[in-house]
Amino acid sequence: MKQETEVLYNGSCPICSREVVHYARLTERQALAIRYDDLADSDRLAAWGIAPDEAAKRLHVRKDGQTYAGVPAFLVLWRDIPQMRWLARIVETPGVHRLACMTYDHVLAPVLYRMHLRRMRRRS
């Protein structure tokens, strides 16, 4: 039996949540074994063993007992969703993979995280 893929995402991030809602719709239509955990759910977050601040910095995916973060996490998720496999194949190619990791790690994730911190400060 194939183990469930778990996704930990920041539901308070409008960009992140919009993307995850898209994946969740694809998942639901095909009854795929993928669960989406919003880091705002403290019980779910505790099961991940990741600090809230770390969880907010990038997408995390757990599959077969291994946790992935950033672009590697997206690749695991995309491989599990038939409509997204084409994207995984493209991003897995060496040059594209390196560029995707650099862009996500040094541009996109830090910008989204700073936006998250601003949202959290406004809520305080």
**CA-CA distances (angstroms) from residue 97 to 91, 93, 100?**
5, 6, 5
pLDDT of residue 66: 96
Residue (of 94, 73, 95) closest to 19 by Cα position: 73
pLDDT of 3 over the 90 cut: no
Q: What are phi and psi of 7, to 5 degrees?
A: -120, 130
Q: What is the pTM of this model?
A: 0.93
| Overall domain count for the chain | 1
pLDDT of residue 1 exceeding 60, the answer is: no
User: Hey, what amino acid is at 53?
Assistant: D
Residue 28 has pLDDT above 80, yes or no: yes
CA–CA distance, 7 with 17 (Å, rounded to integer)? 12
The answer for 3, left when phi > 0, alpha when psi is -120 to 50, beta otherwise, is beta
Helix (H, G, I), strand (E, B) or coil at 38: strand
- Residue 2's pLDDT band, with cuts at 50, 70 and 90, is low
* Domain limits for position 86: 5-123
